[in-house]
């Protein structure tokens, strides 16, 4: 399970439990420079660095592990799946790869505001409680929101640039060759998520030419791994895994129907 921006492996403390109860050997690594040490080096850490570190773990997990990625971690999961054998991928509110256009004015405005902040791609970005409370942790109670935010750490300006301003990135750091991802994919997006909205996540799913299923999660925002109702999100992922792992031949027929949950 690969966490999102400003977080650590702790983000899956709850979400991992139903998987472990079903017998899965769950690993929740913390990305480089996300241990809370406040290192300025995180600002110059790119997506390729994160992917390289995660790839180094894969031999421990067997020939074809299952990847679960949230937000930034969802993009990293896609990048790994395009490079290594993977059995299945679950993307939860995933960041979009290179070439996927934003679908909302909020995404465009957020990118513009970040760009106007200066050369952010060369430095560490500090978490902002106002932004997190309004758009990432908005479904949590005030007390829990503060508790989660207190664990946030600095994020890479370079990695953020590679995601948010991909059109300006000549190295195409967030590029994912969709045709190289051959495993089944489940894409989940909260209906009220403004950071990685369902309309954009649907576009991510459509890149995989029938190998991905998209579902919109009613009542959820950007933190489906821990906000109220996270248990049903975990159960949906587990039931999907049961089907694709036991009967993978049935996936293409369903995957052609890009659907939304009711």
Could you tell me if residue 233 is inside a domain? Answer: yes
At 165, which CATH number? 3.40.50.1820
Selection from 208, 207, 210, 228 nearest residue 218 by Cα:
228
Containing structural domain, residue 188:
9-255
Could you tell me if residue 92 is inside a domain? Answer: yes
pLDDT in tens, 185-232: 999 999 999 999 999 999 999 999 999 999 999 999 999 999 999 999
pLDDT in tens, 88-140: 999 999 999 999 999 999 999 999 999 998 899 989 999 999 999 999 999 99
**pLDDT over 90 (residue 15):** yes
Could you tell me if residue 146 is inside a domain? Answer: yes
CA dihedral (53, 98, 170, 222) positive or negative: negative
Residue 252 is predicted with a pLDDT of 37
Arithmetic mean of pLDDT, 20-48: 91
Could you tell me if residue 260 is inside a domain? Answer: no
The answer to whether 189 and 198 have CB atoms below 8 angstroms apart is: yes
Could you tell me if residue 4 is inside a domain? Answer: no
Could you tell me if residue 91 is inside a domain? Answer: yes
pTM of the entire predicted model = 0.93
Could you tell me if residue 1 is inside a domain? Answer: no
**pLDDT over 90 (residue 41):** no
Could you tell me if residue 184 is inside a domain? Answer: yes
* Number of domains present in the structure of the chain: 1
Confidence of residue 249 (pLDDT cuts 50, 70, 90): very low
């Amino acid at each position: 399970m690969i966490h999102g921006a400003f977080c650590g492996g702790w983000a899956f403390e709850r979400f991992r439990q139903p998987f472990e109860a079903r017998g899965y050997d769950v690993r929740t690594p913390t990305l480089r420079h996300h241990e809370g040490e406040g290192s300025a080096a995180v600002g110059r850490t790119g997506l390729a660095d994160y992917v390289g570190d995660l790839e180094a773990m894969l031999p421990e997990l067997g020939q074809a592990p299952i990847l679960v990625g949230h937000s930034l971690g969802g993009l990293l999961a896609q990048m790994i799946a395009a490079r290594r054998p993977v059995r299945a991928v679950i993307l939860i509110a995933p960041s979009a790869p290179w070439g996927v256009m934003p679908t909302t004015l909020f995404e465009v405005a957020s990118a513009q505001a970040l760009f106007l902040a200066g050369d952010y791609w060369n430095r560490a970005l500090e978490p902002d409680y106002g932004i997190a409370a309004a758009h990432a942790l908005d479904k949590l109670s005030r007390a829990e929101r503060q508790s989660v935010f207190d664990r946030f750490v600095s994020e890479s300006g370079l990695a953020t640039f590679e995601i948010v301003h991909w059109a300006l990135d000549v190295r195409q750091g967030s590029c994912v060759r969709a045709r190289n991802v051959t495993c089944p994919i489940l894409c989940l997006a909260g209906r009220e998520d403004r950071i990685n909205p369902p309309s954009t996540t649907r576009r991510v799913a459509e890149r995989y030419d029938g190998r991905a299923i998209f579902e919109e999660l009613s009542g959820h925002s950007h933190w489906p791994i821990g906000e109220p109702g996270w248990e049903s999100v975990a159960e949906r992922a587990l039931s999907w895994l049961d089907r694709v792992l036991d009967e993978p031949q049935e996936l293409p027929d369903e995957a052609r129907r890009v659907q939304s949950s009711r």
